Amino acid sequence: LREAIAGYYKGFGVDLDASEVFVGDGAKSDVGNIVDLFDVDNTVLVPDPVYPVYVDTNLISGREILYLDANEDNGFLPLPEKDVHADIIYLCSPNNPTGAVYDREQLQAWVDYALENRAVLLFDAAYESFITGEGLPHSIFEIPGAERCAIEFCSFSKTAGFTGMRCGYTVIRKELQFEGVQVSKLWERRQGCKFNGVSYITQRAAEAVFSPQGRRQVMETIAYYQNNARVMAKALEEMGIWFTGGANSPYLWMKCPDGMDSWGYFDYLLNEAEIVGTPGAGFGKNGEGYFRLTAFGDAQKTAEAMERMKKLKK
């Protein structure tokens, strides 16, 4: 499986050694557990809105957390601020919940910032398979210098429907070292001590994802969800509602209409149209007034839901 993952990265122009790939039971677990390697005195920088695991795992550990201001003006893609110092930085691209995607120049700015601050950049690439835009990076390791500052997490749940089977992987390059200590060796020791591994049958299934037949099947499934995203995006455009995501992500992050708050809009959609979505307020302060729609659904029901939304908007 590790050899297959390394072969997959070659398609992005990233030359990995299989020993730099660590198979786990999902990106969520690895993102949460990676903080075991770092002292509680480290300062953490996360975007707001944000996937809650980034925040909660560090709150549990007792670390100080700083928040990046992701908003409509910057397309929910904040860039580093030179007067802010952080030791651990979380980025997710394509982003959950906003669906926004960093381009190569923006990610280079983050890598440069991490190197300047001697920080580690934790990069969540769980939705990379949904990227279709030309020139958009699928991996942080496409960016020069990232091998010296970044750790990447990925998942089979979103790409190959492994949600219940539990399988993902973390990539830590040998070049990532602090005070002469190779971080990959620390993670190997941590996992050997506190993790029982992924079942053999699940790993063989994950390996098959990278076979020619597996890639075809996966891309067919992703294309199905991408079509759902296009249906939702078209409907939001017709309604004149501002949103991000959809084009390179299964999520659309829409502004609640008529100045409604996130939970108020949730109740309105549920009661008036029997539609369920995710209130943006659950992802942080800057999520208030926004709402997340997902393309992970049935095509017919997605189309029906958007027609109901359009009727409400009239």
pLDDT of 314 strictly over 70: no
Residue-level length of the chain: 314
Strand order in the sheet with 290-294: 243-245, 251-255, 290-294, 278-279
Q: Are residues 87 and 34 in the same domain?
A: yes
Q: Are residues 50 and 188 in the same domain?
A: yes
> Of 184, 181, 178, which Cα lies nearest the Cα of 152?
184
Give residue 228's domain range: 212-313
Q: Are residues 247 and 266 in the same domain?
A: yes
Q: What is the rounded distance in angstroms from the CA atom of residue 58 to the CA atom of residue 63? A: 5
The pLDDT > 70 percentage for the chain reads 99
Domains: count for the chain: 2
What average pLDDT does this structure show over 209-233? 94
Q: Are residues 147 and 113 in the same domain?
A: yes
What average pLDDT does this structure show over 156-184? 87
Q: Which of 208, 225, 241 is at the close of a domain?
A: 208
Q: Which of 164, 193, 208 is at the close of a domain?
A: 208
Q: How far apart are the first and last CA of the chain?
A: 52
Over the range 108-129, which residues count as b (16 or more CB within 10 Å of their CB) and which as e?
A: bebbebbeebebbbbbbbbbbb
pLDDT at 61: 92
Q: Are residues 201 and 220 in the same domain?
A: no
**Domain at 288, CATH number:** 3.90.1150.10
**Domain at 170, CATH number:** 3.40.640.10
Q: Are residues 37 and 173 in the same domain?
A: yes
Q: Are residues 222 and 203 in the same domain?
A: no
Query: Which residue shows structure tokens 């809009």?
Result: 265
Q: Are residues 169 and 222 in the same domain?
A: no
* 189 touches 36 (CB < 8 A): no
Predicted confidence band of residue 28 (pLDDT cuts 50, 70, 90):
confident
pLDDT at 313: 76
Predicted confidence band of residue 160 (pLDDT cuts 50, 70, 90):
low
pLDDT in tens, 249-294: 999 999 999 999 999 999 999 999 999 999 999 999 999 999 999 9
pLDDT of 123 strictly over 80: yes
Q: Are residues 161 and 240 in the same domain?
A: no
pLDDT in tens, 42-95: 999 999 999 999 999 999 999 999 999 999 999 999 999 999 999 999 999 999
* Count of other CB atoms within 10 angstroms of residue 202: 18
Q: What is the rounded distance in angstroms from the CA atom of residue 265 to the CA atom of residue 281? A: 11
Q: Are residues 238 and 306 in the same domain?
A: yes
Q: Are residues 156 and 25 in the same domain?
A: yes
Q: Are residues 73 and 164 in the same domain?
A: yes
* 0.85 exceeded by pTM: yes
Q: Which of 208, 236, 271 is at the close of a domain?
A: 208
* 150 touches 140 (CB < 8 A): yes
